């Protein structure tokens, strides 16, 4: 009976956190699963929290295919969740973040940005596509209005730096457009993969692994969580 009660308690807290998260994020679907024992659950103490979100808006003009956040032992304020519609941690926690982004989502984000430097307005890029290749490379393909052929292609390899940033190192260029276009696109994708948009929102991340496959990239990072972001 106690185990059954604990199961009902976990389901109730799952649903409560899902309702609060739905107010804070723009996601197609989200799911929360906690592990806890009945004795500690009333005080908000949980053994683990697993949060999964699909097609979630990570930053303006960028959705990611899958967002998974596994948090270790934590204490959550049940009162804040119930009455203030806020997820509040009563003590810091650690966890693991995994984000999967496909090449269509990266391309859409690039094309929503202005990559045209002020001194190259006459060389306006019409479209930039980002290609994630099976061998681990990230290529950028630039096109130009009324151009008979592609404007240019730049291939890069991602690398995690000691300062916890992701650098895209150029490997090859074919009929390169002005370097400002290329550098702007590379910087934009580097910032996304470096989790810049998640920094200073109550958690710090240490990037552990980048896994580039044909059509998608997975970023995995350890996390130290002081607080959940609030609306």
Q: Per residue in 95-144, pLDDT tens?
A: 999 999 999 999 999 998 766 555 455 455 568 899 999 999 999 998 87
Tens-place pLDDT, residues 64-109: 999 999 999 999 888 888 777 788 888 999 999 999 999 999 999 9
Q: Which two tokens stand for residue 184?
A: 């702007």
Q: Where are the beta strands (DSSP E) in 103-165?
A: 127-132, 138-143, 152-160
Task: Inform me whether the pLDDT recorded for 37 exceeds 80.
Answer: yes
The residue among 72, 171, 75 whose CA lies nearest residue 131 is 171
At 1, the pLDDT band (50, 70, 90 cuts) reads: very low
pTM of the model: 0.87
C-beta separation of 184 from 117 below 8 A:
yes
Say which residue, 9 or 57, is predicted with more confidence: 57
CA 164 centroid distance within chain? 15
Tens-place pLDDT, residues 168-206: 999 876 666 667 788 899 999 999 999 988 876 788 999
The domains of the chain are located at 2-91, 105-193
């Amino acid at each position: 009976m106690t185990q059954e009660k604990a199961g009902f308690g976990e389901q109730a807290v799952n649903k409560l956190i899902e309702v609060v998260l739905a107010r804070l994020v723009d996601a197609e679907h989200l799911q929360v699963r906690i592990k806890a024992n009945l004795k500690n659950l009333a005080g908000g103490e949980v053994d683990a929290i697993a949060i999964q979100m699909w097609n979630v808006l990570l930053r303006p003009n960028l959705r990611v295919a899958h967002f998974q956040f596994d948090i270790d032992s934590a204490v959550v304020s049940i009162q804040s969740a119930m009455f203030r519609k806020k997820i509040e941690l009563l003590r810091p926690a650690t966890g693991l973040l995994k984000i999967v982004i496909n090449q269509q989502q990266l391309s859409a984000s690039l094309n929503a940005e202005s990559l045209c430097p002020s001194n190259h307005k006459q060389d306006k890029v019409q479209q930039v596509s980002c290609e994630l290749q099976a061998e681990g490379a990230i290529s950028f393909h630039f096109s130009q209005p009324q151009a008979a052929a592609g404007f240019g292609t730049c291939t890069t390899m991602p690398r995690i730096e000691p300062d916890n940033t992701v650098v895209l190192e150029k490997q090859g260029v074919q009929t390169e457009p002005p370097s400002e276009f290329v550098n702007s696109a590379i910087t934009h994708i580097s910032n996304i993969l470096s989790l810049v948009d998640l920094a200073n929102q109550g958690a710090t991340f240490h990037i552990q692994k980048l896994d580039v496959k044909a059509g998608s990239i997975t970023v995995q990072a350890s996390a130290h969580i002081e607080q959940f972001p609030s609306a």
